[in-house]
Amino acid sequence: MERGRRIQAGMSGPGGVKGLGMLAWLETRRSRRVFEDEPVPKEVLERLVQAAITAPSNTNRQPWRFTVVTAEDKRKRIAAAVRARAEEIEAIIHRGHHAEDFASYGDFFHEPLESAAAIVVPQWRDYPDLIADLITSGGGDPSLYHTARSMQAELCSTSAAVMAMLLQAHAEGLGACWMAGPMIAKPEIEALLGIREPYRMVGAVAIGYPAGEAPPPGRKPIDRVVQWVEE
Ligand SMILES: Cc1cc2nc3c(=O)[nH]c(=O)nc-3n(C[C@H](O)[C@H](O)[C@H](O)COP(=O)(O)O)c2cc1C
């Protein structure tokens, strides 16, 4: 079917999910930071990983791994390590003139980890840059070309996988929050979970059945984020 007709028919997804319906559903996803005290069944967590690995990746390298932490003791240790680092940073910032600026960020680092039923630590790894190696083998200088390395394609692929996981969580009635904050305790978390090179954590995802409300944080209007090139 040619492009115009396909759009007219609104055939964009399985199970009768059409373009506008999909968009409306996507708009209902929120980052959730407070969770009920209720475990998430393992088969549901498995589906989240299944969803993650549907993501596209550069030359299908699938450069990701996911550590899924449900053990209470380990979850508490992760949250405590992040809190300790956040307090350390807060103490440093308090010595300067921006203590108030940091105040609203304090919880940002660890709050979702405190009540999460599961903490997923996504990881990514680099692979040799095939095209750069081929250029080198031909006597060329790969730094003159923007190959996959220049866009950190493996990290991009892993980010796509995390987004698929967040959407599956939403579809399962779960709440989730992908967080950069836990990176402040990267050495502690990697040691606790046995994450080592070549894998590197890319934040952490707090997951659980959501409690309370999460008002939409809003979005920039699309005319501020899109550049149309039509002629
Ligand atoms: C890479 C990344 C890192 C984020 N880090 C944090 C974080 O450390 N703590 C947090 O509470 N939220 C974090 N968020 C969630 C954002 O605050 C949230 O996505 C944004 O405010 C938009 O809200 P929404 O997801 O509900 O649409 C992060 C989101 C992304 C994509």
User: Residues 117, 40: contact at Cβ < 8 Å?
Assistant: yes
Model confidence pLDDT, tens digit, residues 24-71: 999 999 999 999 999 999 999 999 999 999 999 999 999 999 999 999
Instruction: Say if CB 157 and CB 122 are below 8 A apart.
Output: no
User: Which comes out higher in pLDDT, residue 161 or 92?
Assistant: 161
Residue 210 in contact with ligand 1 by CB distance below 6 A? no
Tens digit of each residue's pLDDT (9 = 90 or more) over 106-135: 678 899 999 999 999 999 999 999 899 999
Q: Is the CB of 176 under 6 A from ligand 1?
A: no
Q: At residue 2, does pLDDT exceed 80? A: no
The first and second tokens of residue 2, run together, are 């040619």
Nearest alpha carbon, ligand 1 atom 10: 108
User: pLDDT tens digit string along 68-84?
Assistant: 999 999 999 999 999 99
| Protein residue whose Cα sits closest to atom 22 of ligand 1 | 217
Q: Which of 27, 105, 152, 177 to mutate to test the pocket of ligand 1 (most atoms within 8 A of CB)?
A: 177
User: With 70 as the cut, is the pLDDT of residue 4 above it?
Assistant: no
**DSSP E strands, 88-219:** 118-124, 175-179, 200-201, 204-208
Tell me the domains of the chain and their CATH numbers.
31-209 (3.40.109.10)
Whether the CB of 33 sits within 6 Å of ligand 1: yes
Tokens matching residue 50: 């299944």
With 70 as the cut, is the pLDDT of residue 1 above it?
no
Across 167-184, average pLDDT: 98
